[in-house]
Amino acid sequence: MDLLDTLTAKGLRGEVPTREEALAVLATTDDELLDVVAAAGKVRRRWFGRRVKLNYLVNLKSGLCPEDCSYCSQRLGSKAEILKYTWLKPDQAADAARAGVAGGAKRVCLVASGRGPTDRDIDRVTDTMAAIKDADPEVEICVCLGLLSDNQAERLKAAGADAYNHNLNTSENTYGAITKTHTYADRVDTVQKAHGAGLSACSGLIAGMGETDEDLVDVVFALRELGSDSVPVNFLIPFEGTPLAKEWNLTPQRCLRILAMVRFVNPDTEVRIAGGREVHLRTMQPLGLHIANSIFLGDYLTSEGQAGQTDLDMIKDAGFEVEGAGEATLPRHRADVAEAAQSGGGCGTAASACGSGGGCGPCGGHEHAPLGEATTVAPEGANDELRDDLVKVRRRGAGTELAPNA
């Protein structure tokens, strides 16, 4: 297939495909799917070998958010019966983080619901990071606290944060249909603040909100241009009690095509299968490992994933290996770029602007119409079946008396 030969050759050289080529990946048929996965797999192995980076989520503050992101179970007015609690104490968060690291996680992701942190919140997170790094100085810490004000990114960097997550989530054109309380430009600004302060930018998307193929390609190219070092690909978890509860638009095959498109556009960037992995890829998860080089271990912010040991078994059975603490995630040339940005020498690739997008992590849900009603029809092959039996609200780990899943 000419398309896949072209994409493989470009990916092996670290070149970005055209927008038309990216759209063509999303338009491939199920008969072509294994060829698509194989082509993306060659690019993945070129830059990341058979390593899988494990990341561990600690939800520092859950629910009760004043923002109205439609996809999020923690949003204003959410009826989802999730855990709701205020800030964990540093030692509580460190205990949860330790469980993830013991399970094989290289990066701990500290996430709090809310529009953005106060300066007091930055103090809390500073104390939490100190408690985590006291126990394990090598652990990478990514912080996700929403929109940043001036100087907060610098404070987080000085306190030991390695990265900041804020997802763009969807295209600029359709952002207003999923969130009214902040804008796409706000998100870009926060990613730029984080990147400008020398934090590695983690920014990704959510697929399955009724968006068009063009929206997906737009946001993925935007992430590339912003110089995101890691791109979490979330698949919408349609939580009961959120406006997108009935948006079951994804099939495992569609998810694999989306992952492959993200990989081709970001050949040498960490691509992470994030929230919704178990819900939407289901038994096809191991094929996703041939495309992505990173996953979350165990549970998500407000929903439960499969057992941490099952994640580890899956990685081993599929012929991959967990990336060690001493191993660099990004290829050397990307690390050079990141270091140059952190030393104030600029950001991204030559073609890139600073930053990436943001927002909170994979919390899965606005009173506004789903994107699908306004902008598109469900993609061909969409899953008409409601699979809300697959959505399991988190009842263990941070904020509970029960042990974390790691």
Q: Which residues of this protein are in contact with ligand SF4, per CB under 6 A?
A: 65, 67, 69, 72, 74-75, 113, 146, 359-360, 363
Given the residues 44, 72, 124, 254, select the one marked as catalytic.
Answer: 72
Instruction: Clarify whether 65 is annotated catalytic.
Output: yes
Residue 356 Cβ, how far from ligand SF4 at the closest point, in Å? Answer: 16
* Size (the chain), residues: 406
Check if 360 is active-site.
Answer: no
Please count the helices (runs of H) and the strands (runs of E) in the chain.
Answer: 14, 10
Which one is catalytic: 69, 347, 360, 363? 69
- Residue ranges in 290-405 assigned as alpha helix (H): 308-317, 332-342, 371-375
* Cβ 397 to ligand SF4 shortest distance, Å: 17
CB of 1 to ligand SF4, least distance (A): 38
Residue type, 374: A
Active site residue 69: yes
255 is catalytic: no
Active-site residue 202, yes or no? yes
Residue 320 has what DSSP assignment? -
Residues 255, 268, 3, CA angle at the centre, nearest 5°?
A: 60
In terms of CB distance, is 65 or 226 closer to ligand SF4? Answer: 65
Q: How far apart are CA 55 and CA 179, in angstroms?
A: 27
Please write down the HEC assignment for all residues of 53-80: EEEEEEEEEECCCCCCCCCCCCCCCCCC
CB 100 within 8 A of CB 140: no
Of 50 and 84, nearer to ligand SF4 (C-beta) is: 84
Rank residues 72 and 129 by Cβ distance to ligand SF4 and give the closer one.
72
Which residue's CB is nearer to ligand SF4, number 113 or number 203? 113
Of 142, 255, 347, 360, the catalytic one is 142
Pick 146 or 379: Cβ nearer ligand SF4? 146
SS (H, E, C) 360-379: CCCCCCCCCCCHHHHHCCCC
Shortest reach from residue 303's CB to ligand SF4, in Å: 13
CB of 244 to ligand SF4, least distance (A): 12
Check if 347 is active-site. Answer: no
- Just list the catalytic residues: 65, 69, 72, 109, 142, 202, 272
